[in-house]
Amino acid sequence: MSDPRLLIHEVGLRDGLQMEHETVPTATKLGWLRALAATGVDIIQVGSFVHPTRVPQMADTDAMFRELTAPGGMASGVVLSGLVLNEKGLERGLACGVQMFCMGVSASETHSQKNTGMSVAEATTRIIATARQAIAAKCQVQLSVQSAFGCGFEGAVQQDRVLGIVRRYLDAGLTNISLADTAGHAAPDAVERLFTAIRALDAGAELTCHFHNTYGMAIANCIAARRAGVTAFESSVAGLGGCPFTKVAGGNVCTEDLIHMFQRMGVRTDIQLDGIIAVARQVADHFHRDMPGMIYKTGPISPTHQ
């Protein structure tokens, strides 16, 4: 049976492709996006509104949104999200039809400076103000805490530091919150503990997880997050991804592997796994290399064998 509360947020076109040296043609990305949308995933992150000299793979984000939000540009009812770092990014996103804005701050001072050029305190104040502007424009907003489970530069990140940022979000009335394991340092017990602590702050908060598989624990961390009440999962087709501003970059939890696991558990059986696998194989063919994901290579276990 499907679980209607569990959402899949595909971020491969942003968090995945930002790590690639090759800039993928816009038409190719649009083809992958439309194919992913047809599988029944709930949200797709089209790109990020960053300066093209810093992340050239995202230079066509505005154009992609305009194409997809034009009449007839997108047949599916999937929500289109975009990442913004500041007020300028929000302005660009509002101008081209972003439906859901993803924004946030790092719990690591070093990562915050490398990613945004701001301290954690300054970034938090600015991102809350930016989120309020997006809500005033009647857009969905998700706020994240990056490096929530550790930092490649600083090492361990204290839970209280993460909860302090989350409290500021909640105090501002912003309750759609994601924890991002930017460095891939999360372990299941810490995941369950931190999300449970946020639930204690606000039982009605909408919680999302974003795990990187740098050290091979992403799938296990997703299970721990679900146990703690997380209902939205960010993942990347073929396991693409990684933050270019962290010390050791690793791919995101793989969408087709995550969906295959959930469907083996009887969850989100409405999503067309074969369609996601087909896109993963196209991605592997495009980059002429094996991707981190497993199911696109092995194929799924047949439902008759469950």
Please say whether the beta carbons of 167 and 159 come within 8 A.
Answer: no
**Integer Cα distance of 269 and 259 in angstroms:** 8
Residue 91 · residue 133 · CB < 8 Å: no
Distance CA 212, CA 232 (A): 15
- Residue 147 contacts residue 186 (beta carbons within 8 Å): no
Report the phi/psi class of residue 125: left, alpha or beta, with left for phi > 0 and alpha for psi in -120 to 50.
Answer: alpha
Q: How far apart are CA 251 and CA 241, in angstroms?
A: 4
CA gap 295, 306 in Å, rounded: 16
Token pair listed for 137: 């424009």
User: Cα 255 to the chain's mean position, in Å?
Assistant: 11
* Residue 222 known to be catalytic: no
Q: Are the beta carbons of 208 and 176 closer than 8 angstroms?
A: yes
Catalytic residue chosen out of the listed positions 96, 209, 222, 243: 243
- Does an H or E element contain 103, and which? strand 100-106
Instruction: Calculate the CA dihedral of residues 265, 267, 272, 277 and round it to 10 degrees.
Output: -50
SS3 call for 186: coil
Q: Which residues are catalytic?
A: 243
